[in-house]
Amino acid sequence: MSNTNSPPPLNIPASTATVTISAIDTTTLLDSNTASLTWNPPIKGFDRAVAGSWSFLIEHHASGRKLLYDLGLRTDWEKLPPALGLQALMDQGVVNELKATKGVAEILTEGGVRLEEVEAVIWSHWHFDHTGDMSTFPSTTRLIVGPHFKQQLLPGYPSDLNGVVMESDFHGREIDELDFTHPTAIRVGRFKALDYFGDGSFYILDAPGHAIGHVHALARTHASPDAAFVHLAADSIHHVGEIRPSEYLPLPDPIVPSPVPTVHPFSCPGHFFSAILREGSRKKPILEGQDPFKELGGDSRLSLIYDEPALRDTIEKDEEFDAHEAVFTVIAHDWSLKGVIDEWPKPLNAWREQGWKEKGTWKFLEDFEAAGVHES
């Protein structure tokens, strides 16, 4: 008999409407020496954090309308507001490398998408590695932001010399700030949600804690009654070790497929990772997020934890979603999924048929191979 707790029901309204969702590698490279400051407890061999950043193209099946969720880093990041202190982090050796070779607008154009077809870009939040360069999109492309964005972050740099967002991203463009207190808002799981297309195919979720106006998204890839979804969890967590394992999704034994094929080719005994289990539990996430900017003395607006109680609540909701068989959770910087999932122009919609959730759930453990128990 299993002693695993079932996650709470999501109670997502039934719908036959779906979207096509595609993962775009934004060509962003984030390479830093902050792993020991960003996550607790320290783990042998896990000192450096290297990842990219995903953007997502969402296409509404019924109408052909197109959205983007996040844009990664802009190629000319040196032009970003000085208040962000990015060059100082480079000079101090905290960040080893920071670059993007192409913007999402260029990637889409090269792939045959007319930018005029993109009706809106959703910023999961305002941090520099998600906002890209909105000035590369037509003024007809709306910008969708989370609650309190306008009041706390506008007008932006350089009108505000201490601003942390670029004024050029908003010039001549409609900014749509989401209101989760609106009468049309519903609950999806325990998240407050807005039904973007009005037919249950794509929800924007209120996910506070990491940053001002932080939002998730939920894309329906399979129609009811066989409903299935891709959950875009952005930066509520920065490594999936913050939500796995969990009380709903304990570390299995054996782990199949093996996250360390060089040591255990086909399956991996769960005890290989016993040294990194928090409190020795297979039901507690391996990592707990911290805020390196507090240690480094950086601008608090760059904080990884803007509102800690709200963030902890959001992460608990993420664990609940992540454990559902019908939900495939993708966080912005989960580069363990490279080579597992199809990338744009191919869609993610076949994730269930292709078994990408099963293949990707424990692949993040490859980051901790050095701390594994090697048998003689």
- Asked whether residue 366 is domain-assigned, the answer is no
The pLDDT assigned to 295 comes to 67
Mapping DSSP onto H, E and C, the string for the chain reads CCCCCCCCCCCCCCCCCCEEEEEEECCEEEEECCHHHHEECCCCCCCCEEECCEEEEEEECCCCCEEEECCCCCCCHHHCCHHHCHHHHHHCCCEEEEEECCCHHHHHHHCCCCHHHEEEEECCCCCHHHHCCHHHCCCCCEEEECCCHHHHHCCCECCCCCCCCEHHHCCCCCEEECCCCCCCCEEECCEEEEECCCCCCEEEEECCCCCCCCEEEEEEEECCCCCEEEEEEECCCCCHHHCCCCCCCCCCCCECCCCCCCCCCCCECHHHHHHHCHHHCCCCCCCEECCHHHHHCCCHHHCCCCCHHHHHHHHHHHHHHHCCCCEEEEECCCHHHCCCCCCCCCCCCCHHHHCHHHHHCCHHHHHHHHHCCCCC
The pLDDT assigned to 24 comes to 98
- Asked whether residue 232 is domain-assigned, the answer is yes
- Asked whether residue 376 is domain-assigned, the answer is no
- Asked whether residue 374 is domain-assigned, the answer is no
Q: How many CB atoms lie within 10 A of CB 281?
A: 13
Q: Domains in the chain: how many in total?
A: 1
What gap in Å lies between CA 218 and CA 356, rounded to an integer?
17
User: Looking at residue 77, which CATH number applies to its domain?
Assistant: 3.60.15.10
The pLDDT assigned to 375 comes to 62
- Asked whether residue 284 is domain-assigned, the answer is no
Contact of 146 with 234, CB cutoff 8 Å: no
- Asked whether residue 8 is domain-assigned, the answer is no
What gap in Å lies between CA 26 and CA 174, rounded to an integer?
24
- Asked whether residue 365 is domain-assigned, the answer is no
- Asked whether residue 121 is domain-assigned, the answer is yes
Mean pLDDT (10-residue bins), the chain, 376 residues: 77 97 98 90 91 98 98 97 90 91 98 98 98 98 98 96 96 97 97 98 98 98 96 97 97 96 93 93 95 71 89 98 98 98 98 98 96 74
The pLDDT assigned to 1 comes to 35
Q: Which residues constitute the domain of residue 133?
A: 19-244+289-354
